[in-house]
Amino acid sequence: MKTRPVAPPAPIFAIPVRIYYEDTDAGGVVYYANYLKYLERCRTEWLRNLGVDQSALLRDPGIAFVVRHVDVDYHRPARLDDALTVDLAVARIGHAQICFEQHVRRDDEHAPLLSARVQVACVDAARMRPTALPPSLRSRLETPQ
């Protein structure tokens, strides 16, 4: 029996990113690790857009989000002065984790330069051990934008 691949979730949030000289390597393309920073910024701004203050979460109830796993496909390079869009879609919200589908695209192109699946865990910040997402936060994250 053949199964069809499941389409990735539609992006629900995006931010612009401009490529500066400091982002590039000796070959003039974006250094591969910098893409992880762009993905992180997008997730942070998504939370901020939902009214989630990560500093407040750290104080009370004492939780933080940590990246547990990243699976990245680099399709094509970005270069100096490129205007990019970094987006995310929530693929799944679990008991103590959130899985994201994220992409980086040039503003004028549909095909992604990078595709990533990022698994973020909610942890008790004092013990750095997984902990459940607080119900009030979970409802905010699950509410369609």
For 94-140, the pLDDT digits (tens) are 999 999 999 999 988 999 999 999 999 999 999 999 999 999 899 88
Whole-number Å distance between alpha carbons of 39 and 133:
21
Active-site positions read 25
For 60-85, the pLDDT digits (tens) are 999 999 999 999 999 999 999 999 99
For 20-67, the pLDDT digits (tens) are 999 999 999 999 999 999 999 999 999 999 999 999 999 999 999 999
**Four-residue CA torsion sign, 84, 53, 144, 125:** positive
Whole-number Å distance between alpha carbons of 76 and 54:
33
pTM confidence score: 0.90
What's the CATH code, domain 13-142? 3.10.129.10
